[in-house]
């Protein structure tokens, strides 16, 4: 497994792989890998035969009051985990390599970025779309794999690819959870033991919503109120939003149908967590 920090070297390595007829599959990450990431790497390995994992904590997607500095990093551990998975190439550039001069060009995805997390994290999805565009142009993958945990990110990237005719297929891997239901996230490391317990409220509330749907409820209002109530019972949690929408357009849904997504964001102490479920009906 190669670990490369320079853009020209990545281009060269991918060029060689393409010459050998390989299908390039990219998994973009911010590192500090967990089983969620590893599941995406495995999907990449099933769909492609030259797997590239990028590890880059992208400053452009962090707001001024957000956790860029504190964001957990452990490149050596990440490399060890990826080596074990048989990854071909790790691209781990530093900030200077990715942003050598003032970044004036950005990718905006209107409509999909004003709702959900976008409403609370202005500029976040512009930062995400821009760095993913850069990574796509550097690596030029045939396939790229994202996680459903970051549902809005997946929707934004899909729309970017469609609208800008990017020659890459987007695959979205399912949410991976701890045994007790907590969605895997690099930010879970911020939680103390009390908060770790309290964080279960996200999935518990989503499951309560799902149960209502399974029981025949179709009103988004009823489902949302039930989820809000579940959060009220958890003193360490502060619900930011609950939103029911189409998983690709992110358009709000009033009367729920099969395929709808229920998404929540909440602070557990100072840690902001997100989660979602797709209701398959």
State which of residues 164, 211, 221, 270 lies at the interface with its own copies (CB under 8 A): 164
Strand partners, 3: 90
23 in Cβ contact with 47 (< 8 Å): yes
Of 223, 203, 224, 201, nearest in space to 213 by CA: 223
Question: Under rule CB under 8 A, how many of the chain's residues touch its own copies?
Answer: 29
Query: What is the bridge-based pairing of β-strands 169-173 and 50-55?
Result: unpaired
9, containing H or E segment: helix 7-19
Of 129 and 171, CB closest to its own copies? 129
* Minimum gap (Å) between residue 162 Cβ and its own copies: 8
Write each residue from 165 to 204 as x if it is in contact with its own copies (CB under 8 A), else as -, in one continuous string. xxx-------------------------------------
Burial class (CB in 10 A: 0-12, 13-18, 19+), 254: exposed
Of 12 and 83, CB closest to its own copies? 12
Of 130 and 185, CB closest to its own copies? 130
Chain-centre distance of CA 228, in angstroms? 24
Residue 150 counted as an annotated binding residue? yes
What is the arrangement of strands in the sheet containing 261-268, beginning at the earlier edge strand? 237-245, 261-268, 271-278
Write out the two tokens for 168: 């890459």
195, containing H or E segment: helix 193-198
Residue 228 counted as an annotated binding residue? no
Catalytic residue among 14, 26, 37, 112: 37
Residue 140 counted as an annotated binding residue? no
Map the footprint of its own copies across residues 74-133, applying CB under 8 A. 101-112, 129-130, 133
Decide if residue 163 touches its own copies (CB under 8 A). yes
The verdict on whether 246 is a catalytic residue reads no
* Minimum gap (Å) between residue 102 Cβ and its own copies: 8
Strand partners, 237: 268
From CA 249, how far away is CA 255, in angstroms rounded? 16
State which of residues 39, 58, 140, 186 lies at the interface with its own copies (CB under 8 A): 140
Neighbours of 61 (CB within 10 A): 21
State which of residues 13, 43, 138, 273 lies at the interface with its own copies (CB under 8 A): 138
Decide if residue 11 touches its own copies (CB under 8 A). yes
Decide if residue 162 touches its own copies (CB under 8 A). yes
State the residues that interact with its own copies by CB under 8 A. 7, 11, 101-112, 129-130, 133-134, 137-138, 140, 159-160, 162-167
Q: Which residues are catalytic?
A: 37
Positions at the binding site: 30-37, 61, 147-150, 153, 176, 184-187
């Amino acid at each position: 497994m190669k670990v490369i920090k320079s853009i020209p070297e990545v281009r060269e390595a991918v060029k060689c792989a393409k010459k050998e007829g390989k299908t390039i599959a990219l998994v973009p990450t911010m590192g500090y890998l967990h089983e969620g990431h590893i599941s995406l790497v495995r999907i990449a390995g099933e769909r492609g035969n030259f797997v590239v994992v990028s590890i880059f904590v992208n400053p452009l997607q962090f707001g001024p009051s957000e956790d860029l500095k504190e964001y957990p990093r452990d490149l050596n551990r990440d490399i060890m985990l990826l080596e074990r998975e048989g990854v071909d190439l790790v691209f781990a550039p530093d900030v200077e390599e990715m942003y050598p001069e003032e970044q004036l060009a950005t990718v905006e995805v209107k409509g999909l970025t004003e709702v959900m997390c976008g409403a609370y994290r202005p500029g976040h999805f512009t930062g995400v779309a821009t760095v993913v565009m850069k990574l796509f142009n550097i690596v030029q993958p045939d396939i790229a794999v994202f996680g459903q945990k970051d549902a809005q990110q997946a929707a934004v990237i899909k729309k970017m690819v469609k609208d800008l005719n990017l020659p890459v297929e987007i695959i979205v891997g399912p949410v991976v959870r701890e045994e007790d239901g907590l969605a895997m996230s690099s930010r879970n490391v911020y939680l103390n033991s009390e908060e770790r317990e309290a964080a279960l409220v996200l999935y518990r509330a989503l499951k309560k919503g799902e149960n209502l749907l399974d029981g025949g409820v179709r009103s988004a209002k009823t489902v949302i109120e039930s989820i809000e109530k579940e959060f009220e019972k958890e003193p360490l949690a502060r619900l930011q939003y609950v939103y029911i929408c189409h998983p690709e357009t992110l358009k709000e849904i009033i009367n729920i149908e099969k395929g709808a997504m229920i998404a929540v964001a909440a602070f557990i102490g100072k840690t902001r967590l997100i989660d979602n479920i797709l209701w398959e009906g």
